Every structure is written in structure tokens, then in C-alpha cells.
Structure 1
């Protein structure tokens, strides 16, 4: 008791507060779940209708609120389609859009995909059906890739690919806002392909447990496994790329404003980085110029000259009128560990 610095009364008050918070979050999650069920019933009974497009629609989504590696997977998918002579167009909502590019207000994921798949067309906006019709009239794509589309029931799709992050597959098992689940696990019955991502960051037995849980819900679903491989590191001030091998043994301070920041630390440690410390920001965080100097001071205090960031963070810092010496972005790509052929067969069956 003395070591904790809390009296019995204070501990009881803290426990009561925690219980009250959990109760409030549980009530909100029940309301969210009821709304979700009602919405699904409205589509199932044709009170609401999913609108179908004249070309195939492939959705890449997840069960949880972000952090599964959708963006690099979408980049991989559209590059594969493009290499086969198919012209895909990415449709996404554009949550937390902050900058105007080519006449549309876009977010950090748009900027990342422009780096990772520069030849692929991409339209962001809340009304994806309207944006798709506009694209059909002006761009003539062969298919649409719906980024983060598993819960976007307004638009009919021909293939649903769902990603599950091996490092945090189902959160704490609760729906939003008590947990991170957008839908419960049985919703996977709607999926055609389930991809377990970041399998290199966990033990193989954990991946097998995830796949058994998926198959218990949907025995016929196609399953695959991927890892996110760091392919290069790039200095933000000079844009000079260097090998990821140069990071081994280097002391670096990490910065991540992504859905699953723990995965970035695990990736850095896997690369042999001596992690001096880490600053985590909310997903889609809007960086200010003042953040740069604060981060530099934190890194120096931790004894590090290098600051490593995700691409999602670097595309926003790169737009600030500040000196970014010492800031480096880690560039990643998807690599299949199992099930690539089966996944692509499902894609070719609809395209």
C-alpha cells in the first residue's frame, strides 16, 4: 500500500471509477451492436438496397477499427491487377482528410497509396457509389477496389477480402466503443477470403489459433497469411534510400500515429533497431510544425540521433515547412507466407 502511494479509500474510488467507465462503455457497445443488427436486417429484408456497379467490386476490409495493414495490402492488390493488364480504381472514404490533391480533399492513406501504387487511380469521398459512377464515365476502370469496405453495405461487391492482424486479431472481444470490433466474429461468414497479416511478428501457433477460429465460423472460406516486410528506409530531408540492414544496432526513437503502433515497434525490433523510446499518436494524427522540434528533443533526451516513422506519419510531416534532418521513414510491402495463389484465384474468378 505504501509503495503504491494509495490509501484504501483511494483504491476503492479508483476501482469504482473503472467499473463505472466499463459499465458506460458496455452500455454504449450494446447500443452499437443493436444498431448494427438493425442495419443488417434492413439490408437482409430489402428495406435498404446495396447498389451494384457494372464492373466488379473487390472489398478489402476488416473486423476491427483499423490497424490490420489494409493500405499495403491494397497497394499490393492493385499492383498485381495492373501487372495483369487490369485497370483498377481505388475507392475509399477518406477519413480525416486534410489536404487538397488534384481537386479532391484527401487523407494520409491516399498519399501513401500514391507512393506505393502511383499508377493506380484513387478517389476518396463519403459517397463511394456516386464517385464510382463518375469514374466510370471519365476513367473507364475495369474494376473497383473498395478500401475499408467490409462494413460499407451501400455498395454491392463481388469479393470480400477481410484482414485480421495476428498481433491483435479480435481486440478484447468487445464491440466499439468498449473494444475495437466493428462486428463480431460470425460476420466473417460474409467473407470470401480471410488474410491473417503480420504473421512474422507472432508465434506460428497463434496464427493457427486464429485460422481455427475463422474456419469454425466459415469452413469454406479461403485463408492466407502475409507479413509486412520493411524494404527500405528513406531520409525525409534528402529522400535518399538506404538498406534496412543499416538499421541493425542503430539507436533510434520511434514515432507512430497508426491503428496498431505496437506492430511498428515489433517491426523495428525485428530489424535489429536499438529502440531508445517511442511516441505514439492517435491514428490519422494531424502533425504541426511544433511537433517536429518536440520529437527531436525527446529523441535527443533518449540518446538517439535517428527518428524512425511509419509512412503514414512521414507523408504528413513531409508537407510541413520544417527541417526534417534525422527523420527517416520505414517503407513496407506485403509478402505472402501462404495462400497467395488461392487468394488471387478468388480475385481472378470475379475480375
Structure 2
């Protein structure tokens, strides 16, 4: 029931519902958005006037955030930055702790990186400096965290759905007015390979909002399939001519579908759950049931979804149906050299 309500409200926020009840709710949500807007303005005013103060650390602070609710693809970008830009630095990553799947994904891919999670980022920052004295602290989802001063603000923007319907939450998916993007130092436009003519318009809009910010374009490139039960890496073309059923609980199921299609896979079915959905035994039973109904050769999901599956439910999948996790990584398609120069100067400073 809770998940259905979340999906319904999200559909309203994205203008997918057109019935009378949804229209009435939109009016209410619009009023609430104005209250939310007023709250943001008051907070910003208090920080600008010094009534509320931001904490300044000794370490360099890089925030990777967004201006919309979820689904932009921050986690793979954070992994990319740590592996490719800050590989020679002592790095600590701070997360809110709300999304354990993302924390587990980062820890799985970067086991040597110190990861701290909790609601109070200032407290976590002080703890990080006390424990490891890092050169660079990366703040996950930190664009709205005014309590902590940042050296670099990276904002990730989904090329497929940059700003929703341009309304603030709860009427839309914007967490702040678009004018606040002038605080950003770098825009990471994700999923550019799936975008069409909208990409040019989006970049022009970002340049008008913030002419000084660096604009980076990236996509998520499939690497291989991981066969969970057998602990094997499988080549991507292994499932090209197979009957495939996929499932995901991520912010952008459309891009997952696009990625599979780009790999030459014709899906029997893609089962969609809400972002960060916590899978239960009946969910897996239903997935298996549908895989058998479609006579699927294999089941495919994302690495993030895999983090929310325990070994018990994975063992439920019958041996005749292969279970694969799609491994991806960020590939920067435009602006890589400028990004390296920009952030390398920070880490050396």
C-alpha cells in the first residue's frame, strides 16, 4: 500500500495522472510547493546573513548532488571520481545513510575507501578528519546541505528528465528553484546517449542559468554480466539471442530498458519497482513465476538492485533460469580533459 501511494504521488508530480482526483491533489500540492519555496528562501537568507553558519573543513570538500528527486545516476559518478580523478589522494565519502543500496554499491566497488554515513554531515566530517585526515571528502547528495562549506559543487542532471515539470516538490520533482543552479561549479549531464535533440536545448538552458559552470557529458557503459550463483563474469553477447526477463527498482527504469536494447537484447518483460525498493520473498516469487510463464532463459537486474537482494532469495531462482547482474561504469563523452584539470588542481591545492 505504501509503495502504491508513493508511485501515485510521484506520477502526479510528473503529470502522468489526468483524472479528477489527481487534478484536485495537484492544486493542494501546488499550495504546498509555495510553502516549501518559502522555507528554502528563509534558509538561504539566514545563511547569507550569517545568522546560520556553515562549517569549513581543513580537507577539500567535493559535493555530488542534484536538484531533483533521485534517479540522476550520482553513485557511478562518485565511483568514477574516486577511481580516476582522486586515485592518488586519501579520500573519504560521506553519505546520508538513507539509501543503503548505494552505500553497499560504493563499498563493494571501492573496498579500500573510508565510508561514513549519518544524518549530520558536519559531525561526520569532523569524525573523518579525526580518523583519517583525508585529502578530499566527497559528500553524497550534498547540494542542499548548507551547513557544510564545499570547495566544489557537482550537480548531476538526467538528460532524459532534467527538471520534471519545473515545479518544486511536492508538486514536481525540483528540490530547489532552478535559479539556485548558479551555485554549481560543474554540471554532469548523465545518460546523454539516450537523449535526442533535447540535449542541445538543455545545455543552452544550463549556460543561461550558470555561464561559469563546467558542463560534462557522460553515459553509463555496460561492461559485463555477473552470474551471481556461479560467481562468474559473462560476456555481454552471451544473452543476445536469449529470452530475457529483467527487473529493477531504480530512479530511471527507462534508461535500464534503453541500455538493454542497446546491447541487442529483446526483453520478454521489464518489471519495474519504486526506486530503492526493498525486495521481499513474494516479489522474487512473482518474478520467478513470470519468468517461467514467458519461458525466459535468464533474469537480469542492475547492480544497485542486487545490493537489495539477500542470498536466500537469490537461491530461490531455479537452476534452469540464469540470474545475471549488469555491471556498468561511467564513460565521459565530452569534457573529460577539462574535468581532470579542474579537479586535479583542487586535489593538489
After TM superposition, the score normalised by the length of structure 2 is 0.89
CA-to-partner distance for each residue in 1:307-326, whole Å, 9 max, x for gaps? 11111111121444541453
Unaligned runs of 5+ in 1: 1-13, 97-106
Q: Tell me the alpha carbon deviations over residues 145-191 of structure 1, each in whole angstroms, 9 at most, x when there is no partner.
A: 01111111111100011111111111111111121111122111000
Corresponding residue number in structure 2 for 1:87: 90
2:223 equivalent to 1:228? no
Structure 2 residue 265 is the aligned partner of structure 1 residue 261: no
Is 1:214 the counterpart of 2:211 in the alignment?
Answer: no
CA-to-aligned-CA distance 1:14-60 (integer Å, 9 cap, x gap): 84323211111211222211111111111111111111111100001
* Distance in 1 between residues matched to 2:213 and 2:314, nearest whole Å: 49
Count of equivalent residues: 326
2-structure distance, mates of 1:174, 1:210: 17
Instruction: Report if the CA contact (8 A) 1:65-1:181 is conserved.
Output: yes
Residues 122-137 of structure 1 aligned to structure 2 (within 5 Å): 122-137=115-130
Q: Does 1:32 align with 2:24?
A: no
**What are the superposed Cα offsets for residues 71-99 of structure 1, whole Å, 9 maximum, x if unpaired?**
0000000112443x211110010114xxx
Kindly report the root-mean-square deviation, in angstroms, between the aligned alpha carbons of the 2 structures: 1.6
Q: 1:239 aligns with which of 231, 239, 254?
A: 231
* CA distance, structure 2, for counterparts of residue 250 and residue 44 of structure 1: 58
Instruction: Name the structure 2 match of 1:11.
Output: none
Evaluate the alpha carbon distance shift between residue 299 and residue 129 of structure 1 in structure 2; reply closer, same or farther with a 3 A threshold.
same
Other-structure match for 1:336: 332
Q: How does 1:192-341 map to 2 (within 5 A)?
A: 192-203=185-196, 205-320=197-312, 322-323=314-315, 324=317, 325=319, 326-341=322-337
State whether residues 158 and 189 of structure 2, in contact with CA within 8 Å, keep that contact through their aligned partners in structure 1: yes
The TM-score normalised by the length of structure 1 is 0.89
SS at match of 2:308: helix
Contact 1:91 1:122 survives alignment (8 Å): yes
Q: Tell me, in whole angstroms, the C-alpha distance in 2 between the residues paired with 1:66 and 1:339.
A: 24
**Matched residues in 2 for 1:213 and 1:152: separation?**
24
Q: How far off its partner does 1:222 sit?
A: 0.7
> Which residue of 1 is the match for residue 50 of structure 2?
46
Unmatched segments (≥5 aa) in structure 2: 1-17
